[in-house]
Amino acid sequence: MTQAFNDTVPQQEAAEAEDIPHVSIKEVARLAGVSIATVSRCINKPEKVTEKTRLRVQDAIRQTGYSPNTLAQSFRRGRTNIVMVVLPSVGDPFFTEVMRGIRVAARAKGYSVLIEETQLNKMTADEIGAMLVSNQTDGIILLASMSPFGNEVLSAKSRRRLPIVIGCETVSPELADFPSVHIDNIAAAKEATNYLISQGHQRIAMVCGQASSLLTKDREFGYRAAMKQAKLAIENDWVVEGDLTIEGARKAARVLINHGNRPTAIFCANDEMAIGCLHEIKSAGLQVPRDISIVGFDDIRYAEVTDPPLTTISQPAEEIGERVMYRLCRRIEAGNGASSAPEIVPHKLVIRQSVAEPAS
């Protein structure tokens, strides 16, 4: 129940800002000319304080160097102030940008971030899920293609109280109850393929990720939908798995280069694979885009400095990171009261020099 604003609040709320050595909350209150309860409210519930009062308190905090004892707050609230981010690889340039957005929002909300990398396989699915259930972390952001949770963790009874938000990934049926933030991967892949078709390409191949990845399936679906709509055939071995890595894409590119009906264009499910294809095509004595055009996906920071610069689908990676973290905070604070509706953010086709009309 919301209380009317005044300078007296229950002792529990007033205790939500703790003294630390050398500088106490009392000194901040005295300097700002307000009560201790008002300082506490400015720190923990700033929306309940007038802007004039909040600015006075913030100025006093800056002058005194005061910092609330968040560890003590966490114990009182039954929280750790730690969130876990599960992602495929910390070395992936796209997820580096997503993590930047997550950290910005986490810092603003007073959370620390724990990263679990699924490729390292250090923890079992049940162990990751158990961390959340046993309150070792307040919530989880899932950026990985796999679900890191055991069936018991995802039971109907458990899912109602689990603070989990999914970022970037297409949501599987088992995770459909959880909020998510991502682009429309099918529409984006379709747009990329249609761009190649608009440039006159008919023999268009795709280098995709792991078959188990829902995200990869959506991008492949978009590619196939565009080809079908244009009444263009997809030859056998024109859809090749590249493991979402440069090395995997180089192997896939060799398959396509040596194909009896060599494609004139390749759509790659991420930019790392596009870079791998570009390198392998050049190594084979061919040129991009004169002999084979390439389109990537993600618009990582290397995309505009490749030779030639890469045409690609841009995702607002940092914005996705911020949005997913703020949604997790709302989930933690509001529980079942927070919306679970998916949030679709816009993508953009970035046209550079890796695509040209097919040679006659």
pLDDT tens figures, 248-284: 999 999 999 999 999 999 999 999 999 999 999 999 9
Of 179, 216, 111, 219, the closest CA to residue 323 belongs to: 179
Neighbours of 136 (CB within 10 A): 12
pLDDT at 307 over 50: yes
Q: What is the rounded distance in angstroms from the CA atom of residue 302 to the CA atom of residue 310?
A: 9
Three-state SS for 42? Answer: helix
Residues sharing a CB contact under 8 Å with residue 7, sequence separation 6 or more, in sequence order: 34, 35, 37, 38
pLDDT of residue 21: 44
Residues facing 296 on adjacent strands? 312
Least confident of 27-36, 54-63, 71-80: 71-80
| Rounded Cα distance, 143 and 85, in Å | 7
Q: Poorest-confidence range of 39-48, 295-304, 310-319?
A: 39-48
Determine the Cα angle at 300 with ends 351 and 85, to 5°.
140
CA angle centred on 314, ends 312 and 315, rounded to 5°: 145
**SS3 at position 331:** helix
Per the model's pLDDT, the better-predicted residue between 269 and 60 turns out to be 269
For residue 13, pLDDT over 80 is answered with no
Query: 77-91, 146-160, 269-283: which has the minimum mean pLDDT?
Result: 146-160
In this predicted model, what pLDDT tens digit does every residue of 208-233 receive, in sequence order?
988 777 778 899 999 999 999 999 99
Cis check for the bond before 46: say yes or no (omega within 30 of 0).
Answer: no
* Tokens describing residue 174: 């088992």
The rounded percent of the chain whose pLDDT value lies above 90 is 49
Instruction: For residue 310, give both structure tokens.
Output: 């890469």
